[in-house]
Structure 1
Amino acid sequence: MPPEVRDATAADAPRVVRTLTRAFAEDPVFDWVLPDPAARARSGPKIFDMFFAGIEPAGMRLVTPDCAAVTLWHAPNPPGQGGLRAMWQLWRATGSALFRFKRVGDAVEAHFPPQPFWYLHIAGADPAHQGKGLGRAVVQAGLDRIGNAPAYLETARQRNLGFYESLGFHVCGEWDVPGGGPHFWSMLRPSH
């Protein structure tokens, strides 16, 4: 039986942030944006708190009951980088790494599909709980909720491709962040 999945509430924010910080501790994107492990440890919680708070009411923040697995979904059409307020928050979280973070964000947005889609912005499971089906459960719960609508994501980890392909996504592009940034695969689950 798949693990239970529910909507995250504001009260879940600390546990969600802790899970995502642990899940992305050795992520190629965060390693490139924040190459210093101490800076990454300081900035990660602020970044994931900002991402959690930035899901608009029409989006979805899904978690397992203990918040060991999390997905953050933007409803069609995903927002841009959020203007000056978001840039200010990101600068406060990342300092001079803001420019690399913005370079990643600009490259991500440049590769969005032209049609409306649900955007799986973040999916992560606490490393201590990986391999238990929790990540699959929270992604599948989001896909079940959106029904036939297309869904899109990008990943900088080749090992994630098979996981997402098993959920109906297919690779629709490969690209690199300009200036020596990480390699990405764009993945789309078309409407069906």
Structure 2
Amino acid sequence: MTDMISPAGTAELASVAETLAQAFQTDPALSWILPDPDHRARALRSLFRVLVPADVRVGVALRSPDDEAAALWRAPGQAHSGTLEFLRTVVPLYERLGFVTQVQWDVPGGPHFWGMMRPSS
């Protein structure tokens, strides 16, 4: 691995997501949550395809030249990106984990809601 770490450009975000998905493939907690290795690989790829662009909006993705390493960093004070950013991220995350939006509704003068369900397999 080379020593040069640099910010990922827009065209490199997919490879950052892939590097992170591979890095977490053998994580003990994720292996317990998603025990099937093939399903875990697909879910992690989907997960990081959502997380990487969301994090880049308030931080930076770093990568090594040959994609041996990648990291997501947020600026101080940006660990929590706010409700709107959370909602932009959480619905696609749940969908990538197998949940399906059944109904959506707005509360007058309040927030938008999604009713989601995960079909039994």
Task: Report the TM-score when normalising by structure 2.
Answer: 0.66
| 1:62 aligned counterpart, secondary structure | strand
Contact 2:20 2:70 in 1 (8 A): yes
Alignment of 1:100-139 (within 5 A): none
| 1:54 aligned counterpart, secondary structure | helix
Q: Distance in 1 between matches of 2:15 and 2:59?
A: 19
Instruction: Identify the residue that residue 93 of structure 1 maps to in structure 2.
Output: 96
Partner deviation per Cα, 1:152-178 (whole Å, 9 max, x = no partner): xxxxxxxxxxxxxxxxxxxxxxxxxxx
Q: Distance in 2 between matches of 1:92 and 1:73?
A: 24
| 1:55 aligned counterpart, secondary structure | helix
Instruction: Identify the residue that residue 42 of structure 2 maps to in structure 1.
Output: 42
Cα deviation, residue 74, structure 1: 1.4
Structure label with greater radius of gyration: 2
Instruction: Identify the residue that residue 114 of structure 2 maps to in structure 1.
Output: none
Partner deviation per Cα, 1:80-120 (whole Å, 9 max, x = no partner): 58433322111121125xxxxxxxxxxxxxxxxxxxxxxxx
Instruction: Identify the residue that residue 67 of structure 1 maps to in structure 2.
Output: 67
Report how many residues are paired.
95
Q: Distance in 1 between matches of 2:90 and 2:59?
A: 21
Contact 1:58 1:75 in 2 (8 A): yes
* Structure 1 residue ranges without an equivalent (≥5): 97-192
Runs of 4+ that moved beyond 6 A = none
Alignment of 1:106-185 (within 5 A): none
Instruction: Identify the residue that residue 5 of structure 2 maps to in structure 1.
Output: 5
Q: Distance in 2 between matches of 1:83 and 1:7?
A: 23
Q: 1:19 to 1:73 in 2, by over 3 A?
A: same
How well do the aligned residues superpose, as a CA RMSD in angstroms? 2.1
Contact 1:12 1:67 in 2 (8 A): no
